[in-house]
């Protein structure tokens, strides 16, 4: 049963001339070194801010890249385009049976990229050690609340215990530091943030709170309902001592704070103000969807179809050139705060967050 179409773009624009070698650069001089690879649009949760209870029009069989096609594109990204960091995401990457195989194929590339994973953590407990053995370096586990009833309300599934077990297994496997990604509920979010930070300090996880963005499949995002970074910071300051982390931020989206809860528990928390304090000027990302489309931004309204090129027999040089042209055309910013902003048709779960 499906109620919301993915709205995959069907129009390709003529690509402008881009450099033929060197880094993966855009016309504003930004260099992409961080590749986000969505392995699937499928998911076993139904987070209210991401997808509808009924699910979506999932990609079918041949629409998806085969493992060999995916490995070839990642190899081009690393060996020809200067990608130094590969993050696997989705949808939910743990529902993909060949996840470990793709990680292992990425880990043998030279120069070896850093390999990371963003997951909802369901089923992670039994996979964490194998993922580490395959070559995974670090992990981000999404968790928006540590209250079981709220977890069930947000994700529409009663799986909090699985996620907590997954976090522990990831830490035990040496996927260090384990990061926890949270998107806050408009009503209970500030309370959840305080409880999440206590939980993360107690277990040695690093919490990163992300402002909700207009990328939900239902296009129901409302600016005034989404919890703002400034309000999160103010609430955390009521319960913890926060000092700016002195480490240089570079292109990292999170503003990092050193935290002390007053009882001896210390750590760091990151706040990602994607909407209220956009960091597009420092963006270093390129994105590859599960159906082989390159996107130069989460909010791009155009894509470049590498799957069609691959399947038409294109050589690596042609794929490289198409990827370069796609990134060359990257816009200055996501435009969420502009009056003419239009949400992309493709939702977060089919892009890869």
Binding site for ligand SAM (CB under 6 A): 43, 49-50, 89-90, 92, 118-120, 142, 181, 183, 210, 212-213, 215-216, 348-349, 353
Question: Which of 149, 154, 136 has the alpha carbon at shortest distance from 47?
Answer: 154
Six-digit token string for 65: 């890249």
179 known ligand binder: yes
87 known ligand binder: yes
Does position 45 interact with ligand SF4 (CB under 6 A)? The reply is: yes
Span near ligand SF4 by CB under 6 A; candidates 46-54, 196-204, 301-309, 337-345: 46-54
Does position 193 interact with ligand SF4 (CB under 6 A)? The reply is: no
What Å distances lie between residue 48 and 156, 167, 192, 209, 262, CA to CA? 8, 22, 16, 17, 34
Span near ligand SF4 by CB under 6 A; candidates 22-30, 47-55, 258-266, 280-288: 47-55
Does position 47 interact with ligand SF4 (CB under 6 A)? The reply is: yes
DSSP E strand stretches across the chain? 24-25, 31-32, 34-38, 85-89, 114-119, 138-142, 178-183, 206-210, 241-244, 255-260, 266-272, 285-288, 293-295, 304-305
Does position 46 interact with ligand SF4 (CB under 6 A)? The reply is: yes
Please say which residue, 71 or 349, places its beta carbon nearer to ligand SF4. Answer: 349
**How far apart are CB 113 and ligand SF4 at their closest, in Å?**
23
**How far apart are CB 48 and ligand SF4 at their closest, in Å?**
9
Dist CA 214 CA 194 (whole Å): 24
What Å distances lie between residue 51 and 11, 214, 249, CA to CA? 24, 12, 31
| CB atoms closer than 10 angstroms to residue 212 | 22
Does position 50 interact with ligand SF4 (CB under 6 A)? The reply is: yes
Q: Quick one: what does residue 46 bind among ligand SF4, ligand SAM, none, with the CB cut-off 5 to 8 Å set by partner type?
A: ligand SF4
Does position 76 interact with ligand SF4 (CB under 6 A)? The reply is: no
43 known ligand binder: yes
| CB atoms closer than 10 angstroms to residue 323 | 27
Does position 91 interact with ligand SF4 (CB under 6 A)? The reply is: yes
Give residue number: closest CB to ligand SAM: 353
Dist CA 332 CA 297 (whole Å): 10
200 known ligand binder: no
Per the listing, tokens 């995002």 go with 221
Please say which residue, 187 or 317, places its beta carbon nearer to ligand SAM. Answer: 187
Does position 51 interact with ligand SF4 (CB under 6 A)? The reply is: yes
Q: How many helices (H) does the chain have, and how many strands (E)? A: 10, 14
Does position 289 interact with ligand SF4 (CB under 6 A)? The reply is: no
Does position 160 interact with ligand SF4 (CB under 6 A)? The reply is: no
Residue among 26, 34, 92, 302 that touches ligand SF4 (CB under 6 A): 92
Q: Quick one: what does residue 106 bind among ligand SF4, ligand SAM, none, with the CB cut-off 5 to 8 Å set by partner type?
A: none
**How far apart are CB 119 and ligand SF4 at their closest, in Å?**
8
Dist CA 162 CA 164 (whole Å): 6
Crossing angle (nearest 10°) for helices 189-203 and 160-172: 30
Dist CA 49 CA 221 (whole Å): 8
Question: Which of 292, 345, 303 has the alpha carbon at shortest distance from 59?
Answer: 292
Question: Which of 40, 176, 33 has the alpha carbon at shortest distance from 113?
Answer: 33
Residues 312 to 351 in contact with ligand SF4, rule: CB under 6 A: 349
Mark the binding-site residues for S-adenosyl-L-methionine, compressed into ranges: 49, 91, 142, 213
| Binding-site residue set | 36, 43, 47, 49-50, 87, 91, 118, 142, 179, 213, 280, 283, 285-287, 297
Binding positions for ligand SF4, rule: CB under 6 A: 43, 45-47, 50-51, 90-92, 120, 142, 349
């Amino acid at each position: 049963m499906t109620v919301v179409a993915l709205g995959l773009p069907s129009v390709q624009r003529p690509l402008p001339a881009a450099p033929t070698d060197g880094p993966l650069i855009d016309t504003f001089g930004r260099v992409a070194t961080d590749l986000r690879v969505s392995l699937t649009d499928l998911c076993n949760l139904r987070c209210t801010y991401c997808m509808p209870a009924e699910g979506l029009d999932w990609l079918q069989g041949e629409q998806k890249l085969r493992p060999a096609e995916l490995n070839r594109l990642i190899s081009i990204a690393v060996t020809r385009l200067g990608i130094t960091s590969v993050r696997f995401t989705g949808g939910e990457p743990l529902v993909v049976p060949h996840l470990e195989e793709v990680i292992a194929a990425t880990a043998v590339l030279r120069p070896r990229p850093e390999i990371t994973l963003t997951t909802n953590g369901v089923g992670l407990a039994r996979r964490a050690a194998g993922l580490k053995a395959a070559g995974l370096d670090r992990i981000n586990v999404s968790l928006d609340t540590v209250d079981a009833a709220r977890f069930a309300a947000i994700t529409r599934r009663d799986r909090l215990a699985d996620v907590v077990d997954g976090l522990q297994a990831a830490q035990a496997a040496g996927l260090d530091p384990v990061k926890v990604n949270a998107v806050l509920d408009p009503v209970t979010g500030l309370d959840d943030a305080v409880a999440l930070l206590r939980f993360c300090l107690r277990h040695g996880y690093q919490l990163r709170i992300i402002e909700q963005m207009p990328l939900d499949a239902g296009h129901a995002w409302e600016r005034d309902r989404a919890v703002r970074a400034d309000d999160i910071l103010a609430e955390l300051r009521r319960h913890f001592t926060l000092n700016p982390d002195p480490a240089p931020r570079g292109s990292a989206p999170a503003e990092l704070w050193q935290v002390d809860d007053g009882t001896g528990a210390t750590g760091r928390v990151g706040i990602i103000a994607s909407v209220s304090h956009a960091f597009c000027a420092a963006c270093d990302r390129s994105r590859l969807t599960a159906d082989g489309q390159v996107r130069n931004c989460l909010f791009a309204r155009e894509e470049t179809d590498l799957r069609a090129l691959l399947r038409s027999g294109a050589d690596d040089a042609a794929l490289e050139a198409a990827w370069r042209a796609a990134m060359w055309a990257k816009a200055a910013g996501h435009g969420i705060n502009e009056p003419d902003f239009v949400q992309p048709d493709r939702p977060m779960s089919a892009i890869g967050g």
